[in-house]
Amino acid sequence: MAETISFARGAPSLDIVDVEGLRAAAGRAFEADPAGVTAYGTAVGYPPLRRWIAERHQVEPEQVMVTNGSMQADAFLFDALVEPGDVVIVERPTYDRTLLSLRQRDADVRMVELESDGIDVAALERVLASGAHAKLAHIIPNFQNPAGCTLSGPKRRTLIELARDHGFTIFEDDPYEALRFEGDQLPRMVSLDPERVVYASSFSKTVCPGIRVGYLVGPAPLIERIVKIATSTYISPSMVSQAIVHQFCVSGALENSIETVKQALRERAHALCAALREELPDARFVAPQGGYFLWLDLPRGTDVAALFKAAADRGVQFVKGSDFVLEGGKSSLRLAYSGVTVEQIEEGVRRLADAYREVSSSLAGAGAA
Ligand SMILES: Cc1ncc(COP(=O)(O)O)c(C=O)c1O
């Protein structure tokens, strides 16, 4: 059996993780602050990292809390804001774990279609006008997981106006922002309206996911409420991880790491787009300008569940589009190019195209019969 090629996981490959830089940062963390690193600490996070993040976002430290990955930050925010039956707007498609987390809380999840420049704000207006009293809108503004697209500047402003008019909070879930390899940076919604928007980001995609460090930026009273939930959940997040990240950031290693990851993503995204154009001309996609993901639409009627199996038989993995929606998505899939080399991408797409030919020929055969 040939080597398995995985387009499934939204994680960086080991060759673009600065292992040596992390090891050195860990040494400095234990040397510089043995008491702070080894203590329980508090649920707000490791204070020097909290201050560093606050400065980067130009907010007060009281507006920041640092968590064990941003997934934990999402969970705390939902615990604070979402009651069973509350209407929560999400993009369609959206990050599968967010969808699961909201459904576990019995939220009334309303999916609003994504366009190539982000959520369809006219469709969102219709949902709001129909009497849905939205409590929260979860938006992944940059290089969306799974669709890869980015919310345009005008749509960011429209969303804020809608949030003000209809009284809901925007949850700006933004772990990929620093990983733009083409085009211009757009303003964060949280900087446009710090009262209406709660922002989350993470070091998982720019440093490595195993370090489990993410954070929230929001209005101080809400952060204070969430800190109480965090205290009763885990006393405090990992001070060791956060102190390592802090040393990594202040030494300048973060900026180098972002450059390394971006460079690799640019190369991999270009290779993926070229291979898809060559091998799978039936597929439709928007070329990503950053981030980890590309969303592939195959012709209507393509059975992606069958493709998933045919690809697995050839040692290729991806995530089915249907995992990112409440219903439908059956002819789409997500390809993550963050964890695969250019050679693996080329070989993986060849195998995927071969699997597609098998699946579409059996479909044509079934139709003719
Ligand atoms: C949009 C989005 N939010 C949150 C997360 C979770 O990140 P973390 O590793 O910081 O928990 C991910 C990871 O894939 C993601 O894509």
Burial of 169 (0-12, 13-18, 19+ CB in 10 A): buried
Centre of ligand 1 to C-alpha 328, Å, is 23
Residue 206 Cα to ligand 1 middle (Å): 11
pLDDT digits (tens, 9 = 90+) for 145-177: 999 999 999 999 999 999 999 999 999 999 999
Neighbour count for residue 234 (Cβ, 10 Å): 14
For residue 74, how far is its CA from the centre of ligand 1 (angstroms)? 9
206 within ligand 1 shell (Cβ under 6 A): no
Q: Of ligand 1's atoms, which has the minimum distance to the CA of residue 213?
A: 10
Q: Is 319 in the pocket of ligand 1 (CB under 6 A)?
A: no
- The residue to mutate among 76, 97, 179, having the most atoms of ligand 1 within 8 angstroms of its beta carbon, is 97
Provide mean pLDDT across the span 218-229: 98
Q: Is 95 a pocket residue for ligand 1 (Cβ < 6 Å)?
A: yes
2 conformational bin, left if phi > 0, alpha if psi -120 to 50, beta if neither = beta
pLDDT at 2: 80
CA-atom Rg of the chain in angstroms: 21
Closest protein CA for atom 6 of ligand 1: 71
175 CB near ligand 1 (under 6 Å): yes
Residue 368 reports pLDDT greater than 60? no
* d(CA 62, ligand 1 centre) in Å: 23
Burial 113-139 (b: 16+ CB within 10 A, else e): ebbeebbbbeebbebbeeebebbbbbb
pLDDT at 369 over 90: no
User: Residue 90's beta-bridge partner residues?
Assistant: 111, 138
Q: How far is the CA of 131 from the centre of ligand 1 (A)?
A: 31
Ligand 1: centre distance to CA 19 (Å): 21
- Of 363 and 7, the structure prediction assigns the larger pLDDT to 7
The fraction of the chain above a pLDDT of 70, given in percent, is: 98
Contact 144, 292 (CB under 8 A): no
Quick one: how far is CA 267 from the chain centroid? 20
Compute the distance between CA of residue 350 and CA of residue 272 in angstroms, rounded to an integer.
11
Mean pLDDT calculated for residue range 188-195: 97
**Would you state the pLDDT for residue 366?**
54
CA of 341 to the centre of ligand 1 (A): 22
| Nearest CA among 147, 140, 88 for reference residue 115 | 147
Residue 364 pLDDT level (bands cut at 50, 70, 90) = low
State residue 365's pLDDT score: 57
89-103: pLDDT as tens digits: 999 999 999 999 999
Reported as a pLDDT band with limits 50, 70 and 90, residue 352 is: very high
Report how far residue 18's alpha carbon sits from residue 25's, in angstroms, rounded to the nearest whole number: 11
Q: CB of 140 closer than 6 A to ligand 1?
A: yes
Please state the atom number of ligand 1 nearest to the C-alpha of residue 202: 10
Q: Output the residue whose Cα is nearest ligand 1's atom 16.
A: 145
Quick check: CB of 70 below 6 Å from ligand 1?
A: yes
CA 45 to chain centre: 21
Span 245-303, pLDDT tens digits: 999 999 999 999 999 999 999 999 999 999 999 999 999 999 999 999 999 999 999 99
Better pLDDT: 29 or 361? 29
The amino acid that residue 55 corresponds to is E
Best CA proximity match to 342, nearest among 284, 259, 273: 273
Greatest pairwise CA separation for the chain in angstroms: 74
Best of 100, 174, 202, 211 to mutate for ligand 1, by most ligand atoms within 8 A of CB?
202
* Choice from 95, 98, 149 to test ligand 1 binding pocket (greatest atom count within 8 A of CB): 95
For residue 284, the number of C-alpha atoms closer than 13 Å in the C-beta half-sphere is 8
In this predicted structure, what is the pLDDT of residue 361?
A: 83
pLDDT surpassing 70 at residue 144:
yes
Average pLDDT, the chain: 96
